[in-house]
């Protein structure tokens, strides 16, 4: 009997919410050294302004491209993928800037809207029923957050078309992400939520580690001494660095699998007759 997540044509096909998360974790685990190494390099590049930021986003997209190859069962070597991704480095940077601008614009509009609503609520309800006024403002703020998160979900996979498809620029990648996510926003939000749940243990462990190191340092060395700060710097900084880099490939893989899943459902990616 054909199984649900292995389509009868032998490829992965559309995935359920939970399976997307399990698959990202699996792909990350199978290539842990490679992906974690890339993520570390990406976080180091962040220290270099502009060029470093572009390089960093290119490397993160590289991880996504590799994960995409894995889930498609057409894996690429790191060097092959790198050759495809690096020339588009500035497109990633441009896409990143555009998305930040979009978020900024939405926040601005949202802020103004909330201010108007607050003023209006106070004018209408202020005297008689202040509680209603407060409620109206609360509803407005919640509505803003829902819309904001919705927009984040729609723009989640902008890097993927840039990393994988050809003849795509920054703005068309944004349009593509918008188009592909249409009608699947709820599912994407659940996937992200479950992903947060699953990655929570690692964050907690890292927090505990950091706290332990801090406490030991405080006990062993004199606080507020130069030595203390030096060792603190040398230990805590790499630790928080590493914990950030630890989780990044998981999310990059997840974006790649969401992208794969959406293309599978919306465009039948992978539906091909076997080569004879």
Partner 1 sequence: MRLFNRFILHTPESVELEFTLAGIGNRAYALLIDYIILGLIIVVFLLGALIFNSVLLETIANLLGSTNRLALWLIAVQALIGFFIYVGYFVFFETVWSGQTPGKRYVKIRVIRDDGRPVRLQQSTLRALMRPFDDLFFIGVFFIVLNQREKRLGDFVGGTLVIQEEQPVTTAALKVSTSAQSLAKKLLIQADISSLLPEDFAVIREYLQRREGMIPNARNELSKQLATQVKEIIGWEKMPKKVDANVFLEAVYHAYQQQVDN
To the nearest whole angstrom, how small is the minimum distance from the Cβ of residue 213 to partner 1?
Answer: 19
Closest CA relative to residue 191, chosen from 180, 203, 199, 201: 199
Cα–Cα separations (whole angstroms), residue 232 to 235, 237, 276? 5, 8, 62
Closer to partner 1 by CB, 17 or 174: give it: 17
Site size for partner 1 (CB under 8 A): 45
Question: By CB under 8 A, what part of segment 76-115 binds partner 1?
Answer: none
**Position among 190, 228, 232, 241 found at the interface with partner 1 (CB under 8 A):** 190
**Position among 114, 152, 198, 221 found at the interface with partner 1 (CB under 8 A):** 198
To the nearest whole angstrom, how small is the minimum distance from the Cβ of residue 52 to partner 1?
Answer: 33
Residues 6+ apart with CB under 8 A from 270: 7, 9, 11, 12, 13, 72, 264
Closer to partner 1 by CB, 64 or 91: give it: 64
Segment contacting partner 1 by CB under 8 A, of 7-15, 137-145, 156-164, 168-176: 7-15
To the nearest whole angstrom, how small is the minimum distance from the Cβ of residue 42 to partner 1?
Answer: 24
Under rule CB under 8 A, residue 64 binds partner 1 = no
Closer to partner 1 by CB, 15 or 89: give it: 15
To the nearest whole angstrom, how small is the minimum distance from the Cβ of residue 3 to partner 1?
Answer: 6
Which pair of structure tokens corresponds to residue 173? 């990648």
Residues 6+ apart with CB under 8 A from 267: none
Under rule CB under 8 A, residue 209 binds partner 1 = no
Under rule CB under 8 A, residue 26 binds partner 1 = yes
Under rule CB under 8 A, residue 246 binds partner 1 = no
**Position among 32, 164, 204, 248 found at the interface with partner 1 (CB under 8 A):** 204
Which pair of structure tokens corresponds to residue 94? 């441009």
Interface residue list for partner 1 (CB under 8 A) = 1-10, 12-14, 16-27, 71, 179, 190, 193-195, 197-198, 200-201, 204, 265-268, 271-274, 276
């Amino acid at each position: 009997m054909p199984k649900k997540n292995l389509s009868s044509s032998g490829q992965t096909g559309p995935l359920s919410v939970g399976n997307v998360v399990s698959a990202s974790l699996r792909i990350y685990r199978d290539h842990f050294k490679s992906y974690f190494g890339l993520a570390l390099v990406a976080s180091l590049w962040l220290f270099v302004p502009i060029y470093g930021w572009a390089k960093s986003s290119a490397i993160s997209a590289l991880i996504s491209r590799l994960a995409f190859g894995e889930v498609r069962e057409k894996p690429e070597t790191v060097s092959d993928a790198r050759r495809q991704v690096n020339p588009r480095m500035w497109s990633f940077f441009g896409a990143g800037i555009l998305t930040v601008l979009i978020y900024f614009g939405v926040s601005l509009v949202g802020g103004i809207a909330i201010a108007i609503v607050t003023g209006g609520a106070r004018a209408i309800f202020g005297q008689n029923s202040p509680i209603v006024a407060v409620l109206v403002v609360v509803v407005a703020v919640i509505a803003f957050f829902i819309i904001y998160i919705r927009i984040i979900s729609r723009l989640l996979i902008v890097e993927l078309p840039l990393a994988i498809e050809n003849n795509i620029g920054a703005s068309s990648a944004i349009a593509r992400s918008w188009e592909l996510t249409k009608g699947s926003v709820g599912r994407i939000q659940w996937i992200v939520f479950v992903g947060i749940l699953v990655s929570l243990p690692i964050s907690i462990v890292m927090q505990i580690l950091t706290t332990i190191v801090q406490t030991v340092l405080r006990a062993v060395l004199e606080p507020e001494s130069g030595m203390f700060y030096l060792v603190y710097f040398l230990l805590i900084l790499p630790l928080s660095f590493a914990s950030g880099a630890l989780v990044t490939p998981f999310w990059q893989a997840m974006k790649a699998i969401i992208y794969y899943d959406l293309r599978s459902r919306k465009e039948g990616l992978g539906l091909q007759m076997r080569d004879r």
